[in-house]
Amino acid sequence: MEVKNLLVTGGCGFIGSNFVRYILSREDFSGRVINVDKLTYAGNPENLAGIEEAFPGRYVFLRVDICDAEAMEKIFSEFEIDAVCHFAAESHVDRSIKRPESFIQTNIVGTFNLLEAAKKAGDSFKLFHHISTDEVYGSLGPTGFFTEETPYRPNSPYSASKAASDHLVRAYHETYGLPTTISNCSNNYGPYQFPEKLIPLMILNALEGRPLPVYGDGKNVRDWLYVVDHCEAIWTIMKEGRRGDTYNVGGNCERENITIVELICDLLDEKFPCGTSRRSLITFVPDRPGHDRRYAIDFSKIRRELGWSPRESFESGLKKTINWYVENRAWTERVRSGEYQAWIKEHYG
Protein backbone atom coordinates (compact mmCIF):
# COMPACT_ATOMS: atom_id res chain seq x y z
CA MET A 1 0.00 0.00 0.00
CA GLU A 2 1.56 3.27 -1.13
CA VAL A 3 0.32 6.19 0.95
CA LYS A 4 1.17 9.73 -0.13
CA ASN A 5 -0.67 11.73 2.53
CA LEU A 6 -1.41 9.96 5.81
CA LEU A 7 -3.73 11.73 8.25
CA VAL A 8 -2.82 10.82 11.83
CA THR A 9 -5.38 12.00 14.37
CA GLY A 10 -4.26 12.54 17.94
CA GLY A 11 -0.63 12.44 16.85
CA CYS A 12 0.54 14.56 19.79
CA GLY A 13 -0.72 12.03 22.32
CA PHE A 14 1.11 9.08 23.80
CA ILE A 15 0.60 6.35 21.20
CA GLY A 16 0.06 8.78 18.34
CA SER A 17 3.39 10.57 18.81
CA ASN A 18 5.23 7.27 19.05
CA PHE A 19 3.55 6.19 15.83
CA VAL A 20 4.48 9.41 14.00
CA ARG A 21 8.12 8.93 14.99
CA TYR A 22 7.94 5.26 13.98
CA ILE A 23 6.27 5.69 10.59
CA LEU A 24 8.47 8.55 9.41
CA SER A 25 11.56 6.48 10.14
CA ARG A 26 10.32 3.51 8.10
CA GLU A 27 12.01 2.79 4.78
CA ASP A 28 8.72 1.48 3.39
CA PHE A 29 6.90 4.78 4.00
CA SER A 30 7.95 7.76 1.89
CA GLY A 31 4.79 9.80 2.22
CA ARG A 32 3.78 12.80 4.28
CA VAL A 33 2.18 12.77 7.72
CA ILE A 34 -0.52 15.32 8.48
CA ASN A 35 -0.98 15.32 12.24
CA VAL A 36 -4.31 16.65 13.49
CA ASP A 37 -4.66 17.14 17.24
CA LYS A 38 -6.96 19.26 19.39
CA LEU A 39 -4.22 19.49 22.06
CA THR A 40 -6.32 18.55 25.06
CA TYR A 41 -4.57 17.87 28.39
CA ALA A 42 -2.78 14.77 27.02
CA GLY A 43 -1.84 16.26 23.64
CA ASN A 44 1.64 17.75 23.72
CA PRO A 45 3.51 19.00 20.61
CA GLU A 46 6.75 18.61 22.56
CA ASN A 47 6.28 14.84 22.13
CA LEU A 48 7.33 15.44 18.51
CA ALA A 49 10.11 17.94 19.07
CA GLY A 50 12.62 17.85 16.20
CA ILE A 51 10.39 15.90 13.81
CA GLU A 52 9.99 18.71 11.25
CA GLU A 53 13.76 19.22 11.14
CA ALA A 54 14.48 15.49 10.92
CA PHE A 55 11.98 14.94 8.09
CA PRO A 56 11.77 18.19 6.11
CA GLY A 57 8.64 18.52 4.00
CA ARG A 58 7.17 15.29 5.35
CA TYR A 59 5.43 16.44 8.53
CA VAL A 60 2.57 18.91 8.99
CA PHE A 61 0.86 19.73 12.28
CA LEU A 62 -2.63 21.24 12.48
CA ARG A 63 -4.42 22.09 15.69
CA VAL A 64 -7.95 20.98 14.79
CA ASP A 65 -10.78 19.26 16.63
CA ILE A 66 -12.05 16.16 14.83
CA CYS A 67 -15.54 17.14 16.04
CA ASP A 68 -15.38 20.06 13.56
CA ALA A 69 -16.76 18.33 10.48
CA GLU A 70 -16.22 21.30 8.15
CA ALA A 71 -12.57 21.63 9.15
CA MET A 72 -11.95 17.92 8.64
CA GLU A 73 -13.46 17.95 5.15
CA LYS A 74 -11.28 20.93 4.26
CA ILE A 75 -8.14 19.10 5.45
CA PHE A 76 -9.04 16.00 3.42
CA SER A 77 -9.41 18.14 0.32
CA GLU A 78 -6.46 20.50 0.82
CA PHE A 79 -3.93 17.77 1.66
CA GLU A 80 -5.38 15.08 -0.62
CA ILE A 81 -5.61 12.61 2.25
CA ASP A 82 -5.50 9.03 0.99
CA ALA A 83 -5.26 7.16 4.33
CA VAL A 84 -6.14 7.71 7.98
CA CYS A 85 -4.67 6.31 11.18
CA HIS A 86 -7.17 7.33 13.83
CA PHE A 87 -5.81 7.60 17.38
CA ALA A 88 -7.65 10.70 18.60
CA ALA A 89 -9.81 9.80 21.59
CA GLU A 90 -10.61 10.68 25.14
CA SER A 91 -9.08 7.66 26.84
CA HIS A 92 -8.88 7.82 30.63
CA VAL A 93 -11.51 5.70 32.41
CA ASP A 94 -11.57 7.80 35.58
CA ARG A 95 -12.20 10.97 33.57
CA SER A 96 -15.01 9.25 31.64
CA ILE A 97 -16.76 8.43 34.91
CA LYS A 98 -16.66 12.06 36.02
CA ARG A 99 -17.29 13.75 32.64
CA PRO A 100 -18.66 11.32 30.05
CA GLU A 101 -19.96 13.99 27.64
CA SER A 102 -16.54 14.77 26.11
CA PHE A 103 -16.02 11.04 25.47
CA ILE A 104 -19.28 10.84 23.53
CA GLN A 105 -18.38 13.85 21.41
CA THR A 106 -14.78 13.00 20.58
CA ASN A 107 -14.93 9.23 20.37
CA ILE A 108 -18.26 8.86 18.58
CA VAL A 109 -19.07 12.14 16.80
CA GLY A 110 -15.42 12.77 15.92
CA THR A 111 -15.05 9.30 14.40
CA PHE A 112 -18.27 9.80 12.43
CA ASN A 113 -16.93 13.08 10.99
CA LEU A 114 -13.72 11.38 9.87
CA LEU A 115 -15.59 8.50 8.26
CA GLU A 116 -17.80 10.92 6.37
CA ALA A 117 -14.80 12.87 5.11
CA ALA A 118 -13.09 9.63 4.04
CA LYS A 119 -16.23 8.46 2.25
CA LYS A 120 -16.44 11.75 0.34
CA ALA A 121 -12.79 11.44 -0.73
CA GLY A 122 -13.88 8.80 -3.23
CA ASP A 123 -11.88 6.13 -5.01
CA SER A 124 -8.51 7.72 -4.27
CA PHE A 125 -8.94 6.90 -0.58
CA LYS A 126 -7.01 3.76 0.40
CA LEU A 127 -7.56 2.99 4.09
CA PHE A 128 -9.18 4.10 7.33
CA HIS A 129 -7.41 2.40 10.24
CA HIS A 130 -9.13 2.76 13.61
CA ILE A 131 -7.30 2.28 16.90
CA SER A 132 -9.48 0.74 19.60
CA THR A 133 -9.07 -1.04 22.93
CA ASP A 134 -9.62 -4.40 24.58
CA GLU A 135 -11.88 -2.62 27.09
CA VAL A 136 -14.79 -2.83 24.62
CA TYR A 137 -15.02 -6.55 25.45
CA GLY A 138 -15.72 -5.97 29.15
CA SER A 139 -14.18 -8.05 31.90
CA LEU A 140 -12.81 -11.60 31.94
CA GLY A 141 -12.85 -14.15 34.71
CA PRO A 142 -9.65 -15.79 35.93
CA THR A 143 -9.25 -17.73 32.66
CA GLY A 144 -9.82 -17.21 28.96
CA PHE A 145 -8.87 -14.55 26.43
CA PHE A 146 -10.51 -11.90 24.29
CA THR A 147 -10.63 -12.86 20.61
CA GLU A 148 -11.91 -10.96 17.60
CA GLU A 149 -15.18 -12.90 18.03
CA THR A 150 -15.75 -11.91 21.69
CA PRO A 151 -19.06 -10.03 22.11
CA TYR A 152 -18.79 -6.40 23.14
CA ARG A 153 -19.70 -5.70 26.78
CA PRO A 154 -18.26 -2.28 27.71
CA ASN A 155 -18.46 -1.34 31.38
CA SER A 156 -17.41 2.32 31.47
CA PRO A 157 -18.44 5.43 29.51
CA TYR A 158 -14.98 5.36 27.91
CA SER A 159 -15.21 1.76 26.69
CA ALA A 160 -18.83 2.26 25.58
CA SER A 161 -17.83 5.24 23.45
CA LYS A 162 -14.98 3.26 21.88
CA ALA A 163 -17.33 0.34 21.20
CA ALA A 164 -19.70 2.70 19.42
CA SER A 165 -16.89 4.08 17.25
CA ASP A 166 -15.76 0.53 16.38
CA HIS A 167 -19.27 -0.28 15.20
CA LEU A 168 -19.38 2.88 13.07
CA VAL A 169 -16.13 1.97 11.33
CA ARG A 170 -17.34 -1.54 10.62
CA ALA A 171 -20.69 -0.21 9.34
CA TYR A 172 -19.01 2.18 6.90
CA HIS A 173 -17.11 -0.73 5.41
CA GLU A 174 -20.19 -2.94 5.13
CA THR A 175 -22.57 -0.20 3.94
CA TYR A 176 -20.40 2.05 1.79
CA GLY A 177 -17.45 -0.19 0.95
CA LEU A 178 -15.00 2.12 2.71
CA PRO A 179 -11.64 0.31 3.10
CA THR A 180 -11.19 -0.05 6.84
CA THR A 181 -9.25 -2.01 9.44
CA ILE A 182 -9.61 -1.99 13.22
CA SER A 183 -7.13 -2.94 15.93
CA ASN A 184 -8.11 -3.61 19.53
CA CYS A 185 -5.03 -3.40 21.71
CA SER A 186 -4.14 -4.15 25.29
CA ASN A 187 -2.69 -1.61 27.74
CA ASN A 188 0.22 0.32 26.27
CA TYR A 189 3.24 1.66 28.12
CA GLY A 190 6.46 3.41 27.13
CA PRO A 191 7.87 6.88 26.35
CA TYR A 192 5.68 10.00 26.32
CA GLN A 193 2.80 8.50 28.30
CA PHE A 194 0.89 11.07 30.35
CA PRO A 195 1.93 10.73 34.00
CA GLU A 196 -1.57 10.01 35.33
CA LYS A 197 -1.41 6.47 33.88
CA LEU A 198 -0.36 3.57 36.10
CA ILE A 199 3.22 2.88 35.01
CA PRO A 200 4.56 6.45 34.63
CA LEU A 201 2.70 7.54 37.78
CA MET A 202 4.33 4.78 39.80
CA ILE A 203 7.78 5.42 38.34
CA LEU A 204 7.68 9.13 39.10
CA ASN A 205 6.07 8.83 42.54
CA ALA A 206 8.55 6.14 43.55
CA LEU A 207 11.51 8.25 42.42
CA GLU A 208 10.22 11.12 44.56
CA GLY A 209 9.27 9.05 47.61
CA ARG A 210 5.56 9.75 47.21
CA PRO A 211 2.73 7.27 47.97
CA LEU A 212 2.00 4.67 45.30
CA PRO A 213 -1.82 4.48 45.13
CA VAL A 214 -3.16 1.06 44.09
CA TYR A 215 -6.89 0.50 43.50
CA GLY A 216 -8.72 -2.12 45.59
CA ASP A 217 -6.65 -5.22 46.36
CA GLY A 218 -4.29 -4.60 43.44
CA LYS A 219 -5.16 -7.89 41.78
CA ASN A 220 -6.81 -6.46 38.66
CA VAL A 221 -5.04 -8.02 35.68
CA ARG A 222 -4.05 -6.33 32.43
CA ASP A 223 -2.15 -7.49 29.36
CA TRP A 224 0.68 -5.03 28.67
CA LEU A 225 2.10 -3.99 25.30
CA TYR A 226 5.20 -1.86 24.72
CA VAL A 227 4.15 1.09 22.58
CA VAL A 228 6.75 0.61 19.82
CA ASP A 229 5.56 -2.99 19.38
CA HIS A 230 2.05 -1.59 19.02
CA CYS A 231 3.22 0.88 16.35
CA GLU A 232 4.77 -1.96 14.39
CA ALA A 233 1.53 -3.94 14.64
CA ILE A 234 -0.51 -0.98 13.37
CA TRP A 235 1.67 -0.48 10.32
CA THR A 236 1.64 -4.23 9.62
CA ILE A 237 -2.17 -4.22 9.69
CA MET A 238 -2.36 -1.12 7.50
CA LYS A 239 -0.08 -2.67 4.88
CA GLU A 240 -1.22 -6.28 4.92
CA GLY A 241 -4.48 -6.64 6.86
CA ARG A 242 -7.69 -7.69 5.16
CA ARG A 243 -10.00 -4.74 4.59
CA GLY A 244 -13.05 -4.86 6.84
CA ASP A 245 -11.25 -7.02 9.42
CA THR A 246 -10.43 -6.52 13.09
CA TYR A 247 -7.13 -7.59 14.67
CA ASN A 248 -6.44 -7.96 18.37
CA VAL A 249 -2.98 -6.74 19.39
CA GLY A 250 -1.55 -7.95 22.71
CA GLY A 251 1.75 -8.19 24.49
CA ASN A 252 1.41 -11.67 26.00
CA CYS A 253 2.27 -9.96 29.30
CA GLU A 254 -0.52 -10.50 31.82
CA ARG A 255 0.30 -8.93 35.17
CA GLU A 256 -1.61 -7.99 38.31
CA ASN A 257 -1.40 -4.26 39.05
CA ILE A 258 0.26 -4.91 42.41
CA THR A 259 2.92 -7.09 40.73
CA ILE A 260 3.73 -4.25 38.33
CA VAL A 261 4.04 -1.70 41.12
CA GLU A 262 6.28 -4.02 43.12
CA LEU A 263 8.50 -4.66 40.08
CA ILE A 264 8.86 -0.92 39.45
CA CYS A 265 9.88 -0.49 43.09
CA ASP A 266 12.44 -3.27 42.86
CA LEU A 267 13.96 -2.00 39.60
CA LEU A 268 14.26 1.53 40.98
CA ASP A 269 15.74 0.25 44.26
CA GLU A 270 18.35 -1.59 42.21
CA LYS A 271 19.12 1.42 39.99
CA PHE A 272 18.70 4.19 42.59
CA PRO A 273 19.07 2.81 46.14
CA CYS A 274 17.42 5.01 48.76
CA GLY A 275 18.13 3.12 51.98
CA THR A 276 14.75 1.44 52.21
CA SER A 277 12.47 -0.58 49.96
CA ARG A 278 10.17 1.57 47.85
CA ARG A 279 7.50 -1.12 48.33
CA SER A 280 6.79 0.62 51.65
CA LEU A 281 5.26 3.48 49.61
CA ILE A 282 2.45 1.25 48.28
CA THR A 283 -0.92 2.55 49.49
CA PHE A 284 -4.19 0.75 48.75
CA VAL A 285 -7.08 3.10 47.92
CA PRO A 286 -10.83 2.48 47.34
CA ASP A 287 -11.54 0.78 44.03
CA ARG A 288 -13.03 2.82 41.20
CA PRO A 289 -16.59 2.16 39.93
CA GLY A 290 -16.91 -0.43 37.16
CA HIS A 291 -13.27 -1.50 37.46
CA ASP A 292 -12.89 -4.49 35.13
CA ARG A 293 -11.15 -7.37 36.88
CA ARG A 294 -9.11 -8.85 34.05
CA TYR A 295 -8.27 -8.26 30.41
CA ALA A 296 -6.25 -10.69 28.33
CA ILE A 297 -5.75 -10.60 24.57
CA ASP A 298 -5.49 -13.54 22.18
CA PHE A 299 -3.44 -12.08 19.31
CA SER A 300 -3.04 -15.36 17.43
CA LYS A 301 -4.88 -13.96 14.38
CA ILE A 302 -2.37 -11.19 13.65
CA ARG A 303 0.50 -13.56 14.43
CA ARG A 304 -0.88 -16.27 12.16
CA GLU A 305 -2.07 -14.11 9.25
CA LEU A 306 0.38 -11.20 9.28
CA GLY A 307 3.42 -12.61 11.09
CA TRP A 308 3.48 -10.00 13.88
CA SER A 309 4.52 -10.71 17.46
CA PRO A 310 5.77 -8.31 20.15
CA ARG A 311 9.54 -7.94 20.38
CA GLU A 312 9.69 -6.75 24.00
CA SER A 313 9.04 -8.81 27.10
CA PHE A 314 7.35 -6.91 29.92
CA GLU A 315 10.59 -6.77 31.86
CA SER A 316 12.68 -5.46 28.94
CA GLY A 317 10.02 -2.92 27.98
CA LEU A 318 9.62 -1.75 31.55
CA LYS A 319 13.38 -1.21 31.92
CA LYS A 320 13.39 0.88 28.74
CA THR A 321 10.41 2.86 30.03
CA ILE A 322 12.00 3.55 33.42
CA ASN A 323 15.21 4.68 31.72
CA TRP A 324 13.27 7.04 29.45
CA TYR A 325 11.44 8.72 32.34
CA VAL A 326 14.65 9.04 34.32
CA GLU A 327 16.45 10.60 31.35
CA ASN A 328 13.59 12.94 30.41
CA ARG A 329 12.71 14.59 33.70
CA ALA A 330 12.45 18.03 32.04
CA TRP A 331 9.64 16.73 29.82
CA THR A 332 7.98 15.12 32.83
CA GLU A 333 8.12 18.28 34.93
CA ARG A 334 6.67 20.43 32.15
CA VAL A 335 3.79 17.99 31.73
CA ARG A 336 3.05 17.58 35.44
CA SER A 337 3.25 21.32 36.15
CA GLY A 338 1.04 22.21 33.20
CA GLU A 339 3.80 24.42 31.82
CA TYR A 340 3.41 22.81 28.40
CA GLN A 341 -0.17 24.12 28.28
CA ALA A 342 1.13 27.68 28.62
CA TRP A 343 3.49 26.99 25.71
CA ILE A 344 0.58 25.67 23.63
CA LYS A 345 -1.47 28.77 24.40
CA GLU A 346 1.42 31.03 23.46
CA HIS A 347 2.03 29.30 20.13
CA TYR A 348 -1.45 28.20 19.12
CA GLY A 349 -3.79 30.54 20.97
Catalytic center residues: 134-135, 158
Closest C-alpha among 63, 85, 66, 79 to residue 18: 85
Separation between Cα atoms, residue 34 and residue 59, nearest integer Å: 6
Residue 139: CB partners within 8 Å, gap ≥ 6?
153, 155, 292, 293, 294, 295
